[in-house]
Amino acid sequence: MTTTNTQPEVLEPTDPEVGRLKLDNLVKTFGSGATAVNAVDGITLDIPPGEFVTLLGPSGCGKTTTLRMVAGFEDATSGRVELDGTNLVDQPPNKRPMAMVFQSYALFPHLSVRENIAYGLKLKKLPAAEIREQVDVALTSMNLNALADRAPNQLSGGQQQRVALARAMVMRPKVLLFDEPLSNLDAKLRVRMRQEIRRLQHRLGITSLYVTHDQSEAMTLSDRIVVMNAGKIEQAASPDEIYRRPASVFVADFIGRANFLAVDVLEVADGNARVRVLEREFTIPAHPDIGAGSDALVLVRPESVRLEKVDSSEQAHDVVGDHGQILAAVFYGENVEYEVETEHGTIVVIEADPDPETIHAEGSEVRIDFNSERSWLLPNRD
């Protein structure tokens, strides 16, 4: 009699109805009295099942402390950490149905790859046959079969990180937590690992909370980015919205490259503002808090600026209006980056796929224009 092996060759998706993570007015205070500091100051966040959310911000903004409170490694001063309606704030880390992937990999040096992946399953006291089957599936899913019997010190950094991912995912957690897991890898390997993490998370549908200071990492991995500053959330939105429609000057300046130009706001209607800048009038999408006469700045991304050569007959002795002078022109192959001196300050311009023969020379005068539809008017309050 022939039996059919029904064991899946790859990790199967999680239940799409589980894994809703809610942070409700979460606070972490260090110190007391006059020296007390709120490292996390009233964070409220609702993460639906299967969403990949990244906490992003400068050092000291509270993102890692928030992650550690979710994991249970840090006690919350107040607030709630709810998973599928259950408050976990008083439960120890080993009682929370979560798994964490650390920056340092945290592999056991005396155990093989297979034994490292199996470690958590053994703690759950699963039958040996079931552990073996689940570890085999994890090894196949992460393309680690050929490395199963090696020790961690026989692996590259990328291979060690894949083992750490396999060890976390084999536990079938409701929530997967990432503490800057790629920061120890070189640039090219980081890009490959981002793709691997995103592919696995999409396939498995595990709710994921990721901490990083790398903006590119956050933009490529996330369904939603939470930008933090001084323990608070500045904005929580999709990568596109964070980049194109930031909620504040802080967010705009933190995410990507940004030019800010002071403008006169002449009129606001239907979400657009008529402004005067570079001695010309433009109609620009505007933040909801913008009104006629507001103190405002227009955000112009470097790739939205266009430069045009100025004929010698048009050149002025002083750089005024919509004219500027090329301070620097750096050719990177896939793009050229300019720094242009204007009466409004230095503007950064990035031109993709440039023709080397038409690159503007340093010291030359150019006329400046920008795509008003791709720009964004912000209140000048940061």
How does pLDDT run across 93-108, given as a tens digit for each residue? 989 999 999 888 889 9
Q: What pTM was computed for the model?
A: 0.89
- Same domain, yes or no: 265 and 237: no
**Chosen domain end from 212, 244, 276:** 244
Residue 377 has pLDDT above 70, yes or no: yes
Other beta carbons within 10 angstroms of residue 379's beta carbon come to: 18
Domain of residue 179, CATH code? 3.40.50.300
- Pair 52, 89 in one domain: yes
CATH code for the domain of 354? 2.40.50.140
Give pLDDT tens digits for 121-175: 998 888 999 999 999 988 988 889 999 999 999 998 888 988 998 999 888 899 9
**Are 266 and 197 contained in the same domain?**
no
In-domain check, residue 271: yes
Cα-Cα-Cα-Cα dihedral sign, residues 29, 31, 34, 39: negative
Count CA within 13 A, CB hemisphere, residue 117.
31
Q: Six-digit token pair at 163?
A: 């083992």
Q: How many domains does the chain have?
A: 2
pLDDT at 187: 83
Q: Which of 299, 309, 300, 301 is nearest to 329 (CA)?
A: 309
Q: Are residues 196 and 70 in the same domain?
A: yes
Give how far Cα 255 sits from Cα of 58, 111, 226, 246, Å: 11, 41, 11, 9
Q: Which domain holds residue 290?
A: 257-311+320-379
* Domain membership flag for residue 147: no
Q: Are residues 342 and 240 part of one domain?
A: no
Q: Are residues 296 and 179 in the same domain?
A: no
Same domain, 197 and 334: no
Percent of the chain residues topping a pLDDT of 90: 68
Residues 271 and 368 in one domain: yes
Do 197 and 268 belong to one domain? no
Residue 103 lies in a domain: no
Claim to verify: residue 331 and residue 271 sit in the same structural domain: yes
Verify that 230 and 271 share a domain, yes or no. no
